Structure 1
Amino acid sequence: MSRLRSSRGQSNPYSIYTKLRAMGDVVPAPWGGYLLLSHELCDHVLRSRKWATFDAEWRARQGGGTRWDAPASIMLSQSLQGLNPPVHTMQRRTLGNVFDNATLGALRGPVTRIAETLLDRLAEQLRTAKEADFATTVGEEMPAATISHWLRLPESDHDLLKALTHGQGLAQELLPSKSQLAQANEAAEGLRTYFTPLISERRRTPGDDVLSRWIRVWDEIEPDRAVADEILFHLVMFIVIASLETTSTLLSNMVWVLDQHPAVLSWLRSHPEQVPRAVEEVLRYDPPIHLTTRVATEDTVLGGFHISRDEVVHVMLAAANHDPAHHPSPETFDIQRTESHLAFGGGIHYCIGAALARLEATVLLTSLIRRFPTLRVSVPPVWEPRVAFRRLTALYVTER
């Protein structure tokens, strides 16, 4: 596990997952809790109501002076990912199907224009410098531009939002260090400083944007506007950080994975209609989130282990996506697969932005293979030493 937490380990975590799986489907962790390695058990825990997320009540029971009472951690416990029924059910219902077919249809044009603009920048960098960092030029910028368009946020705020999102993501690591928690706490304060006046401004001058619509919905539900605005803050904050952090990794990782499979990439150029399936296999092969965690709501038995109420299990999503019992020949990149994967989680906490992430990836890859037929990765990517949320910090490409 210490190797997994290094940059080198992140460059190939799957060899480590294979060694873990050899120890069993359920592996006791030395710091407490259990690692779940099989697709069957991971899928079961994500869908079962016997398993909950880290809500405020659970965190309070852990006592003070732990990572769970850090400001960034508390903020997450009040967002959708940190809520359990019935509160989670009610808040999710107020959002409706956020990215339904109508919304995605309306976004396809803007997302396409964003992709083309960013690829223009990439082309210019390749023309002048012969090499460009795809991760910073396209991978990180496209989700920021997309969510900003949807929420009507200024382009000048993209760099700030990306920095705050990456900082807050450290609070969701498996075993964050003190310095990582400090960065996360600073980012949490920055997110509140950014979104609080934004909500106030939209309340003063509401429009037809999505945030203004949420404000109107919550004004009908919650008579106390201070309470409503606090809920709105956590909703919009969560959607922004979820959209930026994971999709940016998906977009850059998509380029890296396909570069490592040139025969598949060549076939895809001749069959662009298969791009959605390629995106799905990238999500299966190396998802943006490698693990998430759940808490037992009652004493139970899982994979032969007795697990007490309030004990945690680490759902190893990426390992489950390479479980040979569910995915034949899991190390083979095969865009014709039909088996389900857990890249977006499962159950009531299934990723709220999954459809938008798929749209962005599909639009970008379709344009990329059309416009850059000789694009290649020039040096191996640089990975941040994380375990839960993968982050590719540099991916240099060139045209050959």
Structure 2
Amino acid sequence: MTQLSQDPTAPGFVQDPYPFYARACAAGPLVRWEEYGAIAATTAEAVTAILKDRRFGREAPPFEVPGHLGAFYGVEAHSLLELDPPRHTRLRGLILRAFTTARVEALRPALEATAHELIDAFPAGPFDLLPAFGAPLPVLTIARLLGFDDAVAPDLLAWSNAMVRMYQPARSRADEEAANAAAGAFSAFIRSEIASRRGKTGDDLLSALIAAHDEADRLTEPELISTVILLLNAGHEATVHTIGNGVKTLLETGSAAHRPVPVEEILRFDPPLHVFARWAREEVTVFGHTFAPGDRVDCLLASAGRDPAMVPDPNRFDPGRAAKHASFGGGLHFCVGAPLARLELEIALTALLDRCPGLRLTEPPVYADVYHFHGLERLMVEV
């Protein structure tokens, strides 16, 4: 098996990781990524197979939780994203019972109105599209979906930003302490919301989740808190990055006028999440390598999207392509929020590009050092 070295915080990689993925993909379906200390699945075939293989799971081997991270890992311990069957099966079923297609589709009018309100407030002259449009749209959407007042959106955004720093290889002790404090504050806020709504009827998602909590087969309060935090953190972070990456790509490739907006090709070409880890639940041999129980494999979602075996001319953005990708994961952990993400991206990008046909970049976009996420630090534009 080929061993490859690539610092995920190196400036060249941060701005363009795709040459490394091409090298990794060409080296074989599995490679050893030295800096990550694990084997990485690189090809579309390998990534898809491992994501769907139930001999691999999300539950990491037991470890001692550091004292300064008790609140953060207290949330993680009940997160759908970090669990395997049978608990994952039960929890996902309860969440899907509340997070219905009808509830997501019912957000369309409010999403469209929010997008146009944000566009109406664009300043004259160059401005950063991310804080003006990319960041507020998804956090307001999820807040309204859960039935929270718009006024709490800045707190939700701050807590989310602090917590997701934990998933980055370059995090510091200060990042960890901020994430732990955010987890504690976020949990306390949701706990108070649950207490204020119990016994009341409501059409929002939190009320629906509370109703599931109160039935015989129910979400416990810690599970409910972790679920709400996951919906905000995963949904917001990924959507912000996809809006930014998508606008950048559409403008740079001259594809802004294409309709419908090519959401799936955007997700294939420059997705928001690049790595998703799995752990072997038993001894398992795949693609010529035997994993022992507890061994980790990192599925390189973005590498799979650029695999020439799956997509012809993969480094070319083609808005007319019927794109295939693994950007929402796969198998048991396929993203529960995928329908909402697709709706948000369709509405946000269509509204933005229809309302601002002269939208242009005013300086080269800069990616942030936030791997294993992949998103812009700023996106300076002018309408």
Same fold (TM over 0.5): yes
1:126-180 CA-to-partner distances (Å, cap 9, x unmatched) read x2xx011100110000001111111121111111111111111122235644343
The answer to whether the aligner puts 1:349 opposite 2:333 as a matched pair is: yes
The answer to whether the aligner puts 1:113 opposite 2:113 as a matched pair is: yes
Q: Is the 8 A contact 1:54 1:77 kept in 2?
A: no
Structure 2 partner of 1:265: 256
Structure 2 partner of 1:153: 148
Calculate percent identity across the aligned residue pairs. Answer: 30
Q: TM-score, normalised by structure 2?
A: 0.92
1:351-387 CA-to-partner distances (Å, cap 9, x unmatched) read 1111111111111222122211110111122322122
One-letter amino acid of the counterpart of residue 370, structure 1: D
1:312 to 263, 277, 296: 296
Structure 2 partner of 1:47: 52
Structure 1 partner of 2:40: 35
Q: Is the 8 A contact 1:70 1:181 kept in 2?
A: no
One-letter amino acid of the counterpart of residue 224, structure 2: L
The secondary structure found in structure 2 opposite 1:393 is strand
Q: How far, CA to CA, are the matches of 2:256 and 2:173 in structure 1? A: 42
Q: How far, CA to CA, are the matches of 1:98 and 1:322 in structure 2? A: 35
Q: Is the 8 A contact 1:81 1:349 kept in 2?
A: yes
- Displacement of 1:222 after TM fit? 5.8
- Displacement of 1:27 after TM fit? 1.1
2:282 to 298, 302, 320: 298
One-letter amino acid of the counterpart of residue 9, structure 2: R
Distance 1:176 1:54, change over 3 A: farther
- Displacement of 1:208 after TM fit? 3.2
Q: How far, CA to CA, are the matches of 1:289 and 1:393 in structure 2? A: 15
- Displacement of 1:336 after TM fit? 2.5
Q: TM-score, normalised by structure 1?
A: 0.88
One-letter amino acid of the counterpart of residue 215, structure 2: E
Q: Is the 8 A contact 1:4 1:16 kept in 2?
A: no
Structure 1 partner of 2:375: 391
One-letter amino acid of the counterpart of residue 238, structure 1: L
Q: How far, CA to CA, are the matches of 2:37 and 2:56 in structure 1? A: 17
Where in structure 2 are the equivalents of 1:1-400 lying within 5 Å? 3-30=7-34, 31-54=36-59, 58=61, 60=62, 62-63=63-64, 71-96=71-96, 99-122=99-122, 125=123, 127=124, 130-174=125-169, 176-203=171-198, 205-221=200-216, 228-262=220-254, 264-266=255-257, 268=258, 272=259, 274-275=260-261, 278-399=262-383
Q: How far, CA to CA, are the matches of 1:222 and 1:279 in structure 2? A: 37
Q: Quick check: 375-384 or 107-116, which moved more?
A: 375-384
- Displacement of 1:14 after TM fit? 0.7
Q: Quick check: 234-243 or 176-185, which moved more?
A: 176-185
Q: Is the 8 A contact 1:169 1:389 kept in 2?
A: no
- Cα RMSD over matched residues? 2.2
Q: Quick check: 317-326 or 388-397, which moved more?
A: 388-397
Distance 1:343 1:378, change over 3 A: same
- Displacement of 1:100 after TM fit? 4.0
Relative to its length, the structure with more helix (as a share) is: 1
The secondary structure found in structure 2 opposite 1:111 is helix
How many residue pairs get aligned? The number is 378
1:182-239 CA-to-partner distances (Å, cap 9, x unmatched) read 332222222212212111111264433221222122212268xxx8222211111111
Q: Is the 8 A contact 2:363 2:381 kept in 1?
A: yes
Q: Is the 8 A contact 2:264 2:324 kept in 1?
A: no
Q: Is the 8 A contact 2:244 2:375 kept in 1?
A: no
Q: Quick check: 99-108 or 86-95, which moved more?
A: 99-108
The secondary structure found in structure 1 opposite 2:290 is strand
Q: How far, CA to CA, are the matches of 1:218 and 1:193 in structure 2? A: 17
One-letter amino acid of the counterpart of residue 188, structure 2: T
